[in-house]
Chains A and B, each alone.
Chain A
């Protein structure tokens, strides 16, 4: 149980275009999802916290108008990278919390490798 599906796994886009990444909790409802970004040889850095039915909370330094997050249902959160530039190339990972008392903490998606050319 507690599976998070993330799509696409890899995407290459042209500079200036937008890319949408989906994160779905397959067998549980996730009121909160988190989006991380990871650059090569670095650790995961939290970008934003996505709450179902409300606006996302962004970490300091993350442009909310560039990284649009929508959490319209208890099983789906999307991250849209708008007007992508080469410096946005990174590994994006979502995670979901299965309730607030889960012994297993958080479940992570498999990640999306974004390359902007």
Chain B
């Protein structure tokens, strides 16, 4: 799986959009970008994934650059409950291998 690079930490004001970047310059053509988050002392939670088109669901939006070398996870209206570590993971869809977690980004939503 391609390696990803994320900032160590970010702050965001409550109610504002949180934009979390991820670099994956070595991504292969058949690899998807997945985002998970881990709230303190809980298991990781799936957020969203995409290949090359922008994606949106009830939790977030995923913007992938045209060259697919980077992406941004957008939480449109961050709440205090969105405070968590966010992981960007690149992998082939349907792969039977495990998810490999990097260090992720600690997002702190401030009141």
Residues of A within 8 A of B (CB): 4, 6, 32, 34, 36, 43-46, 49, 91, 93-95, 97, 100-111, 113
Q: Assess whether A113 is in contact with B41, with CB atoms less than 8 Å apart.
A: yes
Q: Main SS of the interface on chain A?
A: strand
Q: Main SS of the interface on chain B?
A: loop
Residues of B within 8 A of A (CB): 34, 36, 38, 41-46, 49, 87, 91, 93-96, 98-104
Q: Assess whether B98 is in contact with A103, with CB atoms less than 8 Å apart.
A: no
Count A-B contacts at CB 8 Å. 56
What are the residues of chain A within 8 A of B36 when measuring CB–CB? 105
Q: Assess whether B41 is in contact with A46, with CB atoms less than 8 Å apart.
A: no
**Contact A43-B43, Cβ < 8 Å, known A32-B96, A101-B94, A105-B49:** no
